[in-house]
Amino acid sequence: MIECTLENLDIKRTVFEKIENVIRTDAFLTSNTSAIPISILQKQTRYPKRFYGLHWMEPSHTTRFLEVICGDQSEISGGEYLAELSQRWGKEPTLVRKDIRGFITNRLMYALYREAFYLVENGYATVEDVDRACRNVPGYWMTLVGPFRWMDLTGVPAYHAVMKDLFPTLNNQTEVPKLIDDIVKAGGKGVANAHGFHDYTDEEAKLWEETYKEFSFEVRKLALKYPADVVKKKLAKKKK
């Protein structure tokens, strides 16, 4: 059973109670939460050991992404089972063996978002510049490999040298950036209401939403040609 409701602990607790009234005690109960730690959520259930996180991102029907998260009371074997099962759903799952707020992908991405805000708010680049840089660098290789494989492919020592000088200069603020705070306080939701970081007419916002859906299906076709074990499969063919 997968719960997917608003990121509100009281709402989720109510939903869990209704679910547990009708499912077997040995059935897996999971949550698609992206904000509340699994260890907190499983305390709201009757059988916390069978509770896990199954975190996907939109559009869930085209992406390979899925995080399987174990809480403090979850058994790793159950997480491994769910990770194996999810491959039948067309996913390439990541198993989060120790619960941490934001899990893996959100922690990585929000570190990028934080630096993006810092660059814009301090006049180093525009919103358009930052978007363009991400599209043309990480957006170019991230469908094929992650950061560690990327460093392997492009030379580990170079990254080591850059880190020593760059890391001390990166932003580490803990407050919500003013740029996003102002937009949200003004009612901005992005393309949903044509009010976000970019300027949109209603027609442009609708076309961006349609284009994103089209892109998601197209990039999925390409991504499926290069699964995580693509090189292992090529080696196996050569051995035959």
For 13-61, the pLDDT digits (tens) are: 999 999 999 999 999 999 999 889 999 999 999 999 999 999 998 888 8
Cβ atoms of 27 and 2 within 8 Å: the answer is no
Q: Is the peptide bond before 59 cis (omega within 30 degrees of 0)?
A: yes
Confidence of residue 240 (pLDDT cuts 50, 70, 90): confident
- Please check whether residues 33 and 65 belong to one and the same domain: yes
Tell me what pLDDT residue 52 has: 97
- Please check whether residues 14 and 84 belong to one and the same domain: yes
Q: How many domains does the chain have?
A: 3
Q: What is the mean pLDDT of the chain?
A: 94
Tally DSSP H helices, then E strands, for the chain.
Answer: 11, 5
222, two tokens: 């390409």
DSSP bridge partners of 30: 2, 52
- Please check whether residues 12 and 84 belong to one and the same domain: yes
Is residue 33 domain-resident? yes
- Please check whether residues 40 and 68 belong to one and the same domain: yes
Confidence of residue 197 (pLDDT cuts 50, 70, 90): very high
Quick check: 196 pLDDT over 90?
A: yes
- Please check whether residues 87 and 10 belong to one and the same domain: yes
- Please check whether residues 17 and 82 belong to one and the same domain: yes
- Please check whether residues 155 and 206 belong to one and the same domain: no
Domain boundary pick from 96, 129, 148: 96
Amino acid at 85: L
Is residue 133 domain-resident? yes
Is residue 105 domain-resident? no
CATH number of the domain residue 66 falls in:
3.40.50.720
238, two tokens: 């050569």
Cβ atoms of 103 and 131 within 8 Å: the answer is no
pTM (2 decimals)?
A: 0.87
Tell me what pLDDT residue 58 has: 81
| pLDDT tens sequence across 68-100 | 999 999 999 999 999 999 999 989 999 999 999
Tell me what pLDDT residue 126 has: 98
Q: Helix H segments across the chain?
A: 9-20, 38-41, 76-86, 105-121, 127-136, 138-141, 147-154, 156-166, 178-185, 202-223, 230-239
Tell me what pLDDT residue 166 has: 96
Domain encompassing residue 195: 187-240
Is residue 181 domain-resident? no
- Please check whether residues 166 and 86 belong to one and the same domain: no
Is residue 41 domain-resident? yes
Is residue 193 domain-resident? yes
| pLDDT tens sequence across 98-144 | 999 999 999 999 999 999 999 999 999 999 999 999 999 999 999 89
- Please check whether residues 11 and 92 belong to one and the same domain: yes
Is residue 101 domain-resident? no
Distances 2 to 12, 19, 42, 234 between C-alpha atoms, Å: 11, 10, 13, 36
- Please check whether residues 164 and 197 belong to one and the same domain: no
